Amino acid sequence: MTRPTAPDPYPSGVARTAPAPVGDSVLEAFAEAGIPTSVDPAERAEHGRDWWPLSLASTRVGLVPHWPGVVVLPRTTAEVRDAIRIATDHGLAITPQGGRSGVLGGAVAPTGAVALDLTGLNRIIGLDPVSGTVSVEAGVFGPDLERAVNDHGFTVGHFPQSFDLATVGGWLACRGAGQFSNRYGKIEDIVRALTVVLASGDVVTLGGRGPRQAVGPDLVQLFVGSEGTLGVITEATLVVRPRPTYERRAAFRVSDFDAGMSLCRAILQRDARPAVLRLYDEVESKRNFDDAGCVLIVLDEGEPLMVDAAMAVVNDVARDAVRLEEDLVARWLEHRNDVSALAPLWAAGVVVDTIEVSGPWSTLSSMREAALASLRSIESTLVASVHQSHAYVDGACLYFTFAGQPGGEPTGYYRAAWEAATSAVLASGGSLSHHHGVGRSRARFVRHALGDGFDVLLALKSILDPRGTMNPGVLNLGGEPW
């Protein structure tokens, strides 16, 4: 079984600074329920962080901003139910965690809280080869799930950058997207059923009676993207597809980013949906492909007739673009999950992060220009760049990367960069997030992003979690945002 790997280890001796864990009465309650726990300082420190880049600066100097009171390690839905009831009875906040690969602080267990580590729920429950679905527990890691279905000739097709580190529950909690999402869909398109434990300890099973139904609002989707604030996902049923045996690739250079977006839009609106359709601006094309233009890479896989048809559309739409070597696609495949430079850059005083958003085609160009201008206008910014990573008939995801060297404590610059870019995106009519979710880093923007809909979300929170114990602060619910 794959286990999460921290982005940067804490220095030795950090455990000596740990505050006291939860009281004996709490630990005794978990022990009586037969649920494993840990109050080991090193384990508590690790469960007080995820891959939020801001935490890298703290880690480097041995600062633990959040010390959960106890790490709880359930192995079944029933143990999750009992753990939530115990935590609620003792007035403790609960932060569900999987691989803790999120980059926005959503899996950071606050000081004194219960860090509910779900990686012990690691069973593949069953595969239905006729319907094309797999049922799985929330703590299963991506590679383990993919290997299991591959053995039967299937794929889930969900390959986020965090694939090696993330769990199924994390995919669902943040409405994640895999890098082949044009072909297979985002996780909300792939999920068919959930088992959820509510703040009350009640266990509910949602969906699972077919690919679509018209029985009121879709309650499965209520919990997909809720980031542990409305309940804890413990099981899911996902769609699987036949494992592809055929693939085609292509790469092009276009004159500028807007021209590239127009090309991508034309491909999608002609109903071709290649699994990968990624467009890079000049900065990122030089960095990733050593090319001075704007590079577009394309990959599709699946049934040969469908792949050939999609690539025929691609080639027709891109007939005036410069054809590049297909090796560029292989270069991307080889390095697509490599985040090894992140921790060393932060250690060197360079603040680096990414901001992924989405918007309709009609506003993407102005949104891109506004966001990049806002990032570049901040003192200490070294570079700001963008690529398009997921595309649809009506719009696309833009993925911004920024780096700055403010000197000294990095929080002020980091917060200013997020404030500037997010304000520009929302003012341009874009979304707050496409696939990373909200976590703590974006929580303060949720009211603006949802408008009047935020009051509906608050009402749901008050009904499902009246004590506000479920992941407080995330999604700007039940606690102060960062």
Q: Mark whether 133 and 212 lie in a shared domain.
A: yes
Q: Mark whether 111 and 26 lie in a shared domain.
A: yes
Contact 196, 81 (CB under 8 A): no
Which pLDDT band, with edges at 50, 70 and 90, does 4 fall under?
low
Q: How many C-beta neighbours within 10 Å does residue 40 have?
A: 13
User: Look-up: residue for tokens 């600074």?
Assistant: 17
67-93 mean pLDDT: 98
Q: Mark whether 274 and 228 lie in a shared domain.
A: no
Q: Mark whether 144 and 201 lie in a shared domain.
A: yes
Identify the weakest region by mean pLDDT among 116-130, 330-344, 346-360: 330-344
Task: Give the residue from 120, 151, 180 where a domain finishes.
Answer: 120
The predicted-structure confidence for 289-302, as pLDDT tens digits, reads as follows 999 999 999 999 99
Question: Residue 201 has what pLDDT?
Answer: 97
378-391 mean pLDDT: 97
Q: What token pair was written down for 357?
A: 């958003």
Which pLDDT band, with edges at 50, 70 and 90, does 342 fall under?
confident
The predicted-structure confidence for 7-28, as pLDDT tens digits, reads as follows 678 887 887 789 999 999 999 9
Question: Residue 3 has what pLDDT?
Answer: 59
Contact 301, 307 (CB under 8 A): yes
Q: Mark whether 325 and 348 lie in a shared domain.
A: no
DSSP string for residues in 399-423: EEEEEE---S--HHHHHHHHHHHHH
Q: Mark whether 421 and 452 lie in a shared domain.
A: no
Q: Mark whether 265 and 314 lie in a shared domain.
A: yes
The predicted-structure confidence for 106-160, as pLDDT tens digits, reads as follows 999 999 999 999 999 999 999 999 999 999 999 999 999 999 999 999 999 999 9
427-444 mean pLDDT: 97
Question: Residue 168 has what pLDDT?
Answer: 98
Q: Mark whether 146 and 129 lie in a shared domain.
A: yes
Nearest to 165 by CA among 83, 62, 51: 51
Which pLDDT band, with edges at 50, 70 and 90, does 58 fall under?
confident
The pLDDT of residue 73 is above 90: yes
Residue 477 belongs to domain spanning? 442-482
Identify whether 9 is part of a domain.
no
Identify whether 78 is part of a domain.
yes
Per the DSSP assignment, residues forming a β-bridge with 235 are 137, 195
The pLDDT of residue 66 is above 80: yes
Identify whether 5 is part of a domain.
no
Identify whether 144 is part of a domain.
yes
Please state, in angstroms and rounded to a whole number, the distance separating the CA atoms of residues 235 and 81: 13
Q: Mark whether 53 and 159 lie in a shared domain.
A: no
Question: Residue 394 has what pLDDT?
Answer: 98
Angle at 19 between CA 18 and CA 25, to 5 degrees: 125
Measured CA distances, 287 to 387, 394, 462 (Å) = 12, 29, 47
Mean pLDDT, the chain, whole residue set: 95
Which pLDDT band, with edges at 50, 70 and 90, does 5 fall under?
low
State which amino acid sits at residue 422.
T
Question: Residue 2 has what pLDDT?
Answer: 47
The pLDDT of residue 6 is above 70: no
Identify whether 6 is part of a domain.
no
Q: Domain with 54 in it: what CATH number?
A: 3.30.43.10
DSSP string for residues in 268-329: HHTT---SEEEEE-HHHHHHHH--SSEEEEEEEES-HHHHHHHHHHHHHHTTTSEEE-THHH
Identify whether 407 is part of a domain.
yes
458-464 mean pLDDT: 98
Q: Mark whether 140 and 237 lie in a shared domain.
A: yes
In degrees and rounded to multiples of 5, residue 424 shows phi and psi of -65, -40
Identify whether 468 is part of a domain.
yes
Question: Residue 337 has what pLDDT?
Answer: 87
Please, is 383 exposed, middle or buried when counting C-beta atoms within 10 Å of its C-beta (0-12, 13-18, 19+)? middle
pTM, to two decimals: 0.96
Task: Give the residue from 182, 211, 242 where a domain finishes.
Answer: 242
Give the helix/strand (H/E) hosting 84.
helix 77-89
Q: Domain with 174 in it: what CATH number?
A: 3.30.465.10
Q: Which residue has the higher pLDDT, 5 or 471?
A: 471
The pLDDT of residue 320 is above 80: yes
Please state, in angstroms and rounded to a whole number, the distance separating the CA atoms of residues 92 and 111: 10
363-382 mean pLDDT: 98
Q: What token pair was written down for 211?
A: 């690919």
The predicted-structure confidence for 196-229, as pLDDT tens digits, reads as follows 999 999 999 999 999 999 999 999 999 999 999 9
Q: Domain with 303 in it: what CATH number?
A: 3.30.70.3450
Question: Residue 456 has what pLDDT?
Answer: 98
Task: Give the residue from 242, 267, 296 where a domain finishes.
Answer: 242
Please state, in angstroms and rounded to a whole number, the distance separating the CA atoms of residues 82 and 202: 10
pLDDT over 90 percentage in the chain: 90
Please state, in angstroms and rounded to a whole number, the distance separating the CA atoms of residues 456 and 231: 17
Q: Mark whether 450 and 480 lie in a shared domain.
A: yes
- Looking at the structure of the chain, the number of domains it has is 5
Q: What is the 3-state secondary structure (H, E, C) of 225-253?
A: CCCCCCCEEEEEEEECEECCCCEEEEEEE
Identify whether 381 is part of a domain.
yes
Please state, in angstroms and rounded to a whole number, the distance separating the CA atoms of residues 58 and 418: 19
Q: What token pair was written down for 94?
A: 């609960």
Q: What token pair was written down for 258?
A: 């807007």
Q: Mark whether 111 and 129 lie in a shared domain.
A: no
